[in-house]
Structure 1
């Protein structure tokens, strides 16, 4: 079963591999013109119909 080994990434590899990603601020934590924090609702998430239906089926 050669070639089927999973590569597990240690923490240092993960941190070094994600260095190229630009850090962005969360869109729901912004400041208005006066510098006070304004809370915004999180963005909407669109799910495929099949996933949405399976989530509805989980509800009691």
Structure 2
């Protein structure tokens, strides 16, 4: 399993940093979670260096 992640967009944390689609629509983005885009499968979080230890949403 790939545990790498990229940093989310600081201005638009709800959007995928790769394809810019809205990924998080059910809640306010939480800095302690890793999100996966449904369109391009990019994993992103506020703190990508900690992605291996953060829970996935």
TM-score category of the 2 structures, normalised to the smaller one: under 0.3
TM-score when normalising by structure 2: 0.19
Q: Which has the larger radius of gyration?
A: 1
TM-score when normalising by structure 1: 0.19
Q: Looking at both structures, which has the greater relative contact order when contacts are Cα pairs under 8 Å and sequence separation is at least 6?
A: 2
